Amino acid sequence: MNTFRDFLTSKKLLLLFLFSLLVISFASVFFVNFRSRSDADEPTSEKVPTLNVLNWTSYIPSEVISDFETEYGVKVNYGTYSSNEELLAKVSSAKSGTYDLIFPSDYMVDLMSSRDLLETLDKSKLKNLDNLNPRFLSQSYDENNLVSLPFLLATSVILYDSEKISTPLTSYHDLLREDFRDNLVLLDDERITIGSFLLASGADLNSVETTALENSLAFYEKLKPNVKAFDSDSPKTFFITGEVDAGIIWNAEALLAQTERENLKIVYPSEGFALSMDNYCILKHAKNPDLAYLFIDYLLRDDVSQAIVDEYPYISPNRSVTSLPDSELETILARGTYVKNVGNDIKKFDKLWAKYK
Amino acid sequence: MTRVKNNHNRPFSSTSELREKTPKLSSSKTVFDGIKVLFTLPVILYALLLIFLPLVYIFFLSFLKSDSYGGFLFEITLDNYLESFDPTYLGIFGKSVAIGLVTTALCLLISYPFAIFLRDKPERTRSLIITLVMIPFLTNSMIRTYGWITLLRKNGVINSALLGLGIIDAPLSLMYNSLGIIIGMTYTLLPFMILPVVSAVSKVDQSLLDAAEDLGAGPLKKFTKVYLPLTLSGAFNGSLMVFIPAIGYFFIADILGGGKAMIIGNLIKNQFLTARNWPLGAALSILLLILTFGLVKLYEKIGGDLDELGGA
């Protein structure tokens, strides 16, 4: 008894414990890293077929999902994320087969498919495929649409209050004007905001060259006194409450702000702007691929596509959903640039971003 | 902090004394100790599994090499630590410390008059006021921070009121700058300063104050010669509890600073979420931990000395 007591309070026990913790933590590092490669899937026995979806926050109205559930007698498990990186983290840390359908953006499609995470799509299962405008297909990030199909397109735009700003804006350089002192909102997104200033200083949106990045920083230094805030969650609020008179934000946010205040004007900057296409992708080892195809086909339907853009006014690749005249769409697609996967060079962007702040 | 330390030490020292003095009791003591271990086991396990283990994981991660997208290679390297001392990141460390220091100073400036005011109030009033200080804790701090937007923004409550009264001509920039961050931090962290300072000030012996007054000390002299030396330990305790979160509360910097000012908290968050450079984030976390640990050690040193000086 006494020896047991001594053992319980002895340093040996502590050491033993700490050592085992060490072993466990090492093991967990390896486990986390290799788990995704092993196929340790357990069979599931669910009665109602359940589709596991991961999508951006505020992207599909909840009625659209509940209508799908009642129409087909299935259940949709709907999870959300707010950045492509978060999506990647969720997908790669979860057991394979946890999620069926995801909505990554262009560069993330490229990255995920290079990591062999995405299933090759069987397009014969989609009878509404023809609803897609071919203008949106075969983009640089997935040239033959092997693993992805377009869902919605976002573009970055300049929004300004035409009542307070009398001379119209056309370019990023116009934002340097004195009357915008402490009066701009920018997206809190390093790829888009740095990308905009790369364009402003004459480089490509996806440039990773040191001089180009330095030039973009120099442009930002000039703009800095005018910047009031960085916000990605709801930059439209800054316009609606009159906090700022101009800014670089997403097109849908801009359109929503316009419904509140009519004198807000949208400008596609002359130097160019970012395009961000979000896509339907089915994950490898998905448990319910057929249900995923069913859901994609449902979302491709004209009435459903319309319901989505009515609530979230992004640009739909569905040809019958009229959000823009053809000529305007053509200009947007021609002048905008998709955000590309830059691999390890993302660290350059991140370091630059730390300098911005 | 010191009080907690004493509580831990006393049972142990008395147990060993008992054991030496009365060896007959040792077997029942053994059972008692066993039960004690059994009952503390869940807490120990909780702390080890959810606090210690992740820290060990972060520690190892900080020595690994990162690959392009969020993963890491099993190569031991010190690069992450060298990278942490890049001027850009040092600048962010410096800015965070500056924000932390200003916040701590403001909290001290508010807490002392408050504590001295509260000292002479009857017990019931005191507990009522302390409860009022604690009540905001019932609401999530992020929601409270969003509440400040309504007050501080360009056409918010404060600016509208001042404009309406004709005190100012143009709206003040109260947020989306360092001022906003400091207002938010001070508001959120003030209770952590008030509680230890109030408790320290209320323990100051009335006779010392009377003596000071008899010898002709004014309010200022009373503060510098009596209150301050006797309550330094409490003030340091509070400062620690304000300063450490102030350099890490990234959501306040994001919401009230307009995402313009990056503090260490944002920097670490970005490494994990945006830059997908977990090893660098881990190295920065470990450095922050070392800084925090150094401050706690410093406190223990000062706190210990002060305890002896106070001689209670």
Please indicate whether, in this complex, the C-beta atoms of B68 and A241 are within 8 angstroms of each other: no
Mean local confidence (pLDDT), A34-51: 55
A303 within 8 A of A318, measured Cβ to Cβ: no
Write down all domains in chain B, each with its CATH number in brackets.
1-61 (no CATH), 81-310 (1.10.3720.10)
- Report chain B's terminal Cα–Cα distance, integer Å: 16
CB pair distance less than 8 Å for B154 and A241: yes
Residue A1 in contact with partner chain B when CB distance is under 8 A: yes
Which residues, 6 or more positions from A334, have their beta carbon under 8 angstroms from its beta carbon? none
Q: Tell me which residue of A233, A263, A260, A266 sits closest to A248, measured CA to CA.
A: A266
CA distance B68 to chain A (A): 4
Contact A191, A197 (CB under 8 A): no
**Tell me, what's the pLDDT at A282?**
96
Segment of A13-27, A215-229, B137-151, B216-230 carrying the highest mean pLDDT: A215-229
Contacts of B105 (CB under 8 A, 6+ apart): none
A229–B176 C-beta distance less than 8 A? yes
A39 against B104, higher pLDDT = B104
Tell me, yes or no, if A89 comes closer than 8 A to chain B by beta carbon: yes
CB contact under 8 A, B259 and A357: yes
Determine the CATH number of domain A154-275+343-356.
Answer: 3.40.190.10
Encoding tokens for residue B35? 């039960």
**Cβ of A5 under 8 Å from any chain B Cβ?**
yes
Q: How far apart are CA A133 and CA A330, in angstroms?
A: 12
So what's the pLDDT on residue A10? 59
Nearest CA in chain B to A188: B259
- What DSSP character marks residue A105? B
What is the model's pLDDT at position B303? 60
Higher pLDDT, A235 or B3: A235
C-beta separation of B157 from B240 below 8 A: no
Instruction: Place B194 in a pLDDT band, splitting at 50, 70 and 90.
Output: very high
Question: What CA–CA distance (Å, rounded) separates B34 from A143?
Answer: 68
In the predicted model, what is the mean pLDDT of residues A282-310? 94
Q: Does A241 touch chain B (CB under 8 A)?
A: yes
The per-residue DSSP string of B112-135 comes to HHHHHHHHTS-HHHHHHHHHHHHG
pLDDT at A298: 95
pLDDT at B307: 47
Asked whether residue A1 carries a pLDDT value surpassing 60, the answer given is: no
A63 and A16 Cβ atoms separated by less than 8 Å: no
Q: Tell me if B148 sits within 8 A of B175, measured CB to CB.
A: yes
Task: Estimate the crossing angle of helix A210-223 against helix A190-200, to 10 degrees.
Answer: 90
- What tokens does A21 get? 């913790």
Per-residue pLDDT band for B18 (boundaries 50, 70, 90) equals: very low
Contacts of A228 in chain B (CB under 8 A): 176, 258
Beta bridge partners of A229: A185
Question: pLDDT > 70: what percent of chain A?
Answer: 87
CA–CA dist B86, A254 (Å, integer)? 38
Would you place residue B69 in the very low, low, confident or very high pLDDT band (cuts 50, 70, 90)? Answer: low
- Ordered DSSP codes for B23-45: GGGHHHHHHHHHHHHHHHHHHHH
Residue A274 phi, psi dihedral angles, 5° rounding:
-90, 140
**pLDDT, position A8:** 52
**Mean pLDDT score of chain A:** 86
Instruction: Give the start-to-end residue ranges of the domains of chain A.
Output: 2-35, 154-275+343-356
B206 at A interface, C-beta within 8 A = no
Where does the pLDDT of residue B277 fall: very low under 50, low under 70, confident under 90, or very high at 90 and above?
confident
Interacting residues of A182 by C-beta distance below 8 A, sequence separation 6+: A225, A226, A227, A228, B173, B176
Q: Is the pLDDT of residue B58 over 90?
A: yes
Contact (CB<8Å) B260/A111: no
State the smallest CA–CA distance between residue B237 and chain A in angstroms. 30
Please give the Cα distance from A123 to A146 (Å, whole number). 9
* Average of per-residue pLDDT across A12-41: 60
Q: What is the DSSP letter of A60?
A: S
Q: How many CA atoms lie within 13 A of B225 on its CB side?
A: 14
Q: What is the DSSP string of A195-239?
A: HHHHHHTTS-TT---HHHHHHHHHHHHHHGGGEEEE-SS-THHHH
* pLDDT value of residue A227: 94
Residue of B nearest to A355 (CA): B88
Higher-confidence residue: B207 or A86?
Answer: B207
Query: What integer best gives the mean pLDDT of chain B?
Result: 84
Q: Is B277 on the interface with A (CB under 8 A)?
A: yes
In this prediction, what percent of chain A has a pLDDT beyond 90? 57
CB contacts of A188 in chain B (<8 Å) are: 254, 259
Cα→Cα distances B36→A1, A53, A105, Å: 15, 48, 55
- Residue B261 to residue A357, Cβ atoms within 8 A: yes
* pTM, full prediction: 0.75
From B68, B92, B154, residue closest to A344, measured CB to CB: B68
Neighbours of A89 (CB within 10 A): 18
| Region label for B208, one of left (φ > 0), alpha (ψ between -120 and 50) or beta (otherwise) | alpha
Looking at the partner chain, which of A88, A188, A354 has a beta carbon nearest the beta carbon of B267?
A354
Question: Sorting pLDDT into bands at 50, 70 and 90, what band is B101?
Answer: very high
Beta strand A149-161 with A264-267 is: antiparallel
A–B interface: beta-carbon pairs under 8 A: 105
CA A175 – CA A169 distance, rounded (Å):
8
Q: How confident is the model at residue B26 (pLDDT cuts 50, 70, 90)?
A: low
Give the B window 255-274 contacts with A, CB below 8 Å.
258-262, 266-267, 270-271, 273-274
In this predicted structure, the answer to whether residue A11 has a pLDDT above a threshold of 70 is: no
Pairing between strand A149-161 and A184-186?
unpaired
* 8 Å CB contact between A321 and A132: no
CA of residue B146 relative to chain centroid, distance = 21
Contacts of B63 in chain A (CB under 8 A): none
Cβ(A253)–Cβ(A189) under 8 Å?
A: no
Residue A293: CB partners within 8 Å, gap ≥ 6? A122, A125, A126, A282
Residues in chain B within 8 Å Cβ distance of A116: none
Mutate to test the interface with B, among A214, A221, A243 (most CBs of B within 10 A): A243
What is the number of other CB atoms lying within 10 angstroms of the CB of residue A96? 20
User: Where do runs of H (alpha helix) occur along A36-149?
Assistant: 62-72, 84-93, 106-114
Compute the nearest-CA separation of B104 from chain A (Å): 23
> What is the average pLDDT across B177-197?
93
Question: In which band, very low, low, confident or very high, does the pLDDT at B42 lie, cut at 50, 70 and 90?
Answer: confident
CA dist B250 → A238, A312, B136, B166 (Å): 21, 29, 20, 36
Helices (H), chain B: 2-21, 26-47, 53-61, 79-84, 87-119, 123-134, 141-152, 157-164, 178-202, 206-214, 219-222, 228-246, 250-256, 264-273, 278-310
Report residue B160's pLDDT band, with 50, 70 and 90 as the boundaries.
very high
The neighbouring-strand residues paired with A280 are: A149
The reply to whether A342 touches chain B by the CB within 8 Å rule is no
Handedness of CA A113, A119, A121, A127 (dihedral sign): negative
Pick the residue from chain B with its C-alpha nearest to A245. Answer: B154
Q: Compute the average pLDDT of residues B226-243.
A: 90
Contacts of A8 in chain B (CB under 8 A): 33-34, 37
State the pLDDT at residue B13: 44
Per-residue pLDDT reduced to its tens digit, A88-107: 888 887 888 899 999 999 99
DSSP output for A22-59? HHHHHHHHHHHHHHTTS--PPP---SS-EEEEEEESSS
Q: What percent of chain B has pLDDT over 70?
A: 86
Query: Is the distance from CB of B110 to CB of B133 less than 8 angstroms?
Result: no
- Cα B294 to its chain centre, rounded Å, is 14
Please indicate if any CB of chain A lies within 8 Å of the CB of B11. no
Interface of B with A in 103-132 (CB under 8 A): none
Half-sphere exposure of B169 (CA within 13 A, CB side): 0
User: How far, in Å, are A14, B212, B232, B312 from residue B309 at the CA level?
Assistant: 36, 18, 11, 9
Min mean pLDDT across A40-44, A85-89, B69-73, B102-106 is at: A40-44
Chain A residues with CB-CB distance to B27 below 8 A: 1-2
Contact map slice: A 163-222 vs B, CB within 8 A: 182, 188, 190
Please report residues of A whose CB lies closer than 8 A to that of B153: 241, 243
